[in-house]
Amino acid sequence: MTPVHEDRPTPGERGLSAPEDWVDRYGDELFRYAYLRLRDPASAEDAVQETFLAAFRARSEFQGRSSELTWLVSILRRKIVDCFRRAAREQPVVDIETEDPEADGLFQPNGWWRVKPGPWVPDAGALLEQSEFWDVFQGCFSRLPPRLAAAFSLRVLEELEPQETCKVLGVTATNLGVMLHRARARLRRCLEARWFQRPEGE
């Protein structure tokens, strides 16, 4: 344990800024975080509101060890998982269809490629800093069917373990595997079409 210094905020409310400032300070960032994962503005707003209310109730538990934003995000992440859990309960996945019409077009009946993956730019590492790339990514992500997007959000963006993701979505491990595979394959294909194969000079 690190010794407590005098100048550190003491645990409890004194480490937190005034709740009436939270919305102005953190509202947009929390909203963006939620909107990216939930893909629906109304659900994202609800998650942000629930987060602030939960933070207000738990304000005495804020330890001052992490930043306020980090603390709020950790609450928001639980609200996002709850939102996916509720949606999955309302519309449970009965059975994943074994045939995927989108993927089936890519392969021949014997399982070999019909439409082969194209070459991608070599300087892919630089993509991380290119905001245009992430705009395209978000566009592709927004085109995923809801269940595939939910699986991808929880497993890849929120980094939940596969087992935990299955529980939240109420699906078997096999189903989750199929959903993630389809989500990744579609994202890859969409990015290939919209980013990696743009005509020169665009």
Partner 1 sequence: MLSCKDVTRLVSEGLDRDLPLDRRLAVRLHVLLCGACRAYRRQVILLNALVCRRFSRGSARLPGGPSLSAEARERIQASLKKRDA
Q: Write the DSSP assignment of the chain as a string of letters.
A: -PPPPTTSPPSSGGGSPPHHHHHHHHHHHHHHHHHHHH--HHHHHHHHHHHHHHHHHTGGG--SSS-HHHHHHHHHHHHHHHHHHHHHHHS------S--HHHHTTB-TTS-BSSPPPP--S-GGGGGG-HHHHHHHHHHHHTS-HHHHHHHIIIIIS---HHHHHHHHT--HHHHHHHHHHHHHHHHHHHIIIIITPPTT-
In the complex, minimum distance from the CB of residue 3 to partner 1, in angstroms, rounded to a whole number? 26
Dist CA 20 CA 107 (whole Å): 56
Does 14 bind partner 1 (CB under 8 A)? Our answer is no
Please report, as residue ranges, which positions from 64 to 103 form the binding site for partner 1 (by CB under 8 A).
69-70, 73-74, 77, 103
Binder of partner 1 out of 9, 10, 12, 28 (CB under 8 A) = 28
Binder of partner 1 out of 49, 64, 164, 194 (CB under 8 A) = 49
Does 134 bind partner 1 (CB under 8 A)? Our answer is yes
Query: In the beta sheet, which residues pair with residue 107?
Result: 113
x/- site string to partner 1, residues 171 to 200, per CB under 8 A? -----xx--xx--xx-xx--xx--------
Binder of partner 1 out of 32, 78, 86, 89 (CB under 8 A) = 32
- The interface region with partner 1, picked from 8-16, 51-59, 86-94, 142-150 by CB under 8 A, is 51-59
In the complex, minimum distance from the CB of residue 8 to partner 1, in angstroms, rounded to a whole number? 21
Query: In angstroms, how far is CA 169 from the centroid of its own chain?
Result: 14
Binding site for partner 1 (CB under 8 A): 19-20, 22-23, 27-33, 35-36, 41, 45, 48-49, 52-53, 56-57, 69-70, 73-74, 77, 103, 107, 110-113, 116-120, 124, 127-128, 131, 134, 137, 155-157, 159, 162, 176-177, 180-181, 184-185, 187-188, 191-192
